[in-house]
Amino acid sequence: MPKTTPSRRIKQFRFTPGTTVAGKYTIVSLLGTGWEGEVYTLREQGTGILRAAKFFFPHRNRRSRTSTFYAKKLHKLRHCPILIQYHTHETIFFEGQRVHVLVSEYVEGELLSRFIARQPGQRLSVFQGLHLLHTLAAGIEGIHYLHEYHGDLHDENIIIRRYGLSFDLKLVDMFHWGSASPENIHEDVFNLIRIFYDSIGGAKHYPEHPPEVKAICCGLKRSLILKKFRNAGHIRQYLETMQWH
């Protein structure tokens, strides 16, 4: 077998705003850089509509397996309103290499991490935190119901579109840990509780919280949390029927 020279690893794209990609989008700005690739805001040239696109580093997306997986998963979950909508899967060439691009809905809003950081004391009140947890649990319930999981729930993957009496949220990004096993669903449950726990002040403020909060957070002990909640729907039901003393 002839040896092929391995291509140089692409470590960054760093597209300049104004660049045309895939013959129909213009790069607007860089949204984030991660392990799998870079995320940009794009403008669709034909319509002027803004989109978000993840450009995968080829070594993180061999034979386009990861990007295709996300595309299929977002498509399967397209009726879950908490998730961004998938649009298209594109292929471009960058430095002579094939690069796959996942184009999805662009969500205008503020990252949960930033929202919390600008609150007084960098934390939410208990009732705001409960509203946040309820919105997340109700949204993710639909994903678990379809025997799927998110896999990467944390405050940098949650965008707040509107905040009023309650939250209007969208989840971006997911992670593929393999098939939707009970363990993967349990990981989402644990991460939901952790987001709530952190949002109301984390370990520093935990001792001063009322027993109703402790009954939900279970001291952040995974086994106790999972004994109480097996999926996101259980958390939602619990919150809707809990009684404040």
Contacts with ligand ADP, residue ranges (CB under 6 A): 31-32, 34-36, 39, 52, 54, 84, 104-107, 111, 156-157, 159, 172-173
Q: Is 157 in the site for Mg ion (CB under 5 A)?
A: yes
Q: Is 36 in the site for Mg ion (CB under 5 A)?
A: no
Minimum gap (Å) between residue 210 Cβ and ligand ADP: 32
By beta-carbon proximity to ligand ADP, the closer residue of 90 and 231 is 90
What sign does the dihedral 18-105-164-149 (CA atoms) show?
A: negative
- Residue 106 near which of Mg ion, ligand ADP, none (CB within 5-8 Å, type-dependent): ligand ADP
Q: At 47, which amino acid appears?
A: T
Give the one residue of 36, 173, 187, 198 binding Mg ion; rule: CB under 5 A: 173
Minimum gap (Å) between residue 111 Cβ and ligand ADP: 5
- Residue 235 near which of ligand ADP, Mg ion, none (CB within 5-8 Å, type-dependent): none
Minimum gap (Å) between residue 91 Cβ and ligand ADP: 19
Q: Is 90 in the site for Mg ion (CB under 5 A)?
A: no
| Residue 229 near residue 238, CB atoms below 8 Å | yes
- Residue 84 near which of ligand ADP, Mg ion, none (CB within 5-8 Å, type-dependent): ligand ADP
Minimum gap (Å) between residue 166 Cβ and ligand ADP: 21
Q: Which residues contact 106 (CB under 8 A, 6 or more apart)?
A: 41, 42, 50, 51, 52
Minimum gap (Å) between residue 61 Cβ and ligand ADP: 12
Minimum gap (Å) between residue 107 Cβ and Mg ion: 13
Supply angle C-alpha 182, 103, 67, rounded to 5. 45
- Residue 195 near which of Mg ion, ligand ADP, none (CB within 5-8 Å, type-dependent): none
Tokens 């799998």 identify what position? Answer: 36
Tokens 């949390």 identify what position? Answer: 225
Whole-number Å distance between alpha carbons of 20 and 40? 12
| Residue 192 near residue 183, CB atoms below 8 Å | no
Half-sphere exposure of 90 (CA within 13 A, CB side): 20
**Which of these, 225, 245, 243, 244, lies nearest to 235 by C-alpha position?**
225
Tokens 């644990």 identify what position? Answer: 190
By beta-carbon proximity to Mg ion, the closer residue of 61 and 157 is 157
By beta-carbon proximity to Mg ion, the closer residue of 135 and 157 is 157
| Residue 84 near residue 170, CB atoms below 8 Å | yes
Q: Is 66 in the site for Mg ion (CB under 5 A)?
A: no
Binding site for Mg ion (CB under 5 A): 157, 173
